[in-house]
Amino acid sequence: MIKKVLLLTILFFGITNIHAANLKAFTANTPTPPLKLTDLNGKTHDLNDYKGQIVLVQFWATYCTPCRKEMPSMNNMMKKMADVPFKILAVDMGETKEEVTQFVNEVKPEFSILMDESGKSIADWRVFAAPSNFIIDPQGKIRYTLFGGVEWDSDELIDKLKALAAK
C-alpha cells in the first residue's frame, strides 16, 4: 500500500513538471549515489563502470505519461550523441519485470532498462518525481538534473551534453 501511494505521488509530481525543459546545474557538494542494478536480461550495470562517458540516469515508471512520451526522443538522442561516449541508464521505479517488459515491447527503448523492484535506488538518489533525470559527467559526478518530461533530442540539450563531454 505504501509503495503504491509513493508511486502515485511520484506520478503526480512528474505530470506537474512535464514542461520543464532546462537542465539545472547540480550544485550540491555530495557524492554521486551508487547505482548497481540488473537490466531486463539479467546483466548487472554499475554506474562506476561508465566513467569516461556522459551518462543520463533516468528514473521512470510504466504508468508515467511523460516517461512514455519522451522515450522516442531518447532513442533519437542516442543517435545524435553517437560521436561522443554517451549512455542512458533508465531505472524503472519499483515495478515488476512483467510490467516493464510489456512497456518495453510497446515503446521499444534502444537503451538499457534497469530494474529496481525494491525501490532502494529511489531513496539513494532522493527521487521525488517521474521522470527524474541526472546527467553524470565523465568523472562520475552529477552535473545536471531535470525533473519532468522533455524532448531529449533538442539541439539545445544535445549541444549542452556534447560540451560537457568535451571538457
pLDDT tens digits for range 36-56: 999 999 999 999 999 999 999
Beta bridge partners of 108: none
- Give me the mean pLDDT over the 27-33 stretch: 90
Question: Domain count of the chain?
Answer: 1
Provide the pLDDT for residue 143: 95
pLDDT tens digits for range 3-15: 443 444 444 444 3
Per the structure, the complete domain to which residue 98 belongs is given by 2-166
pLDDT tens digits for range 115-164: 998 889 999 999 988 999 999 999 999 999 998 889 999 999 999 999 99
Provide the pLDDT for residue 2: 46
Provide the pLDDT for residue 124: 94
Per-position DSSP letters for 114-165, written without gaps between them: EEETT-HHHHHTT--SSSEEEEE-TTS-EEEEEES---TT-HHHHHHHHHHH
- If we measure between CA atoms, which residue out of 12, 98, 96, 10 comes closest to residue 58? 10
CATH label of the domain that carries residue 142: 3.40.30.10
Per-position DSSP letters for 28-91, written without gaps between them: ---PPPP-EEEETTS-EEEGGGGTTSEEEEEEE-TT-HHHHHHHHHHHHHHHHTTTS-EEEEEE
- Give me the mean pLDDT over the 75-91 stretch: 96
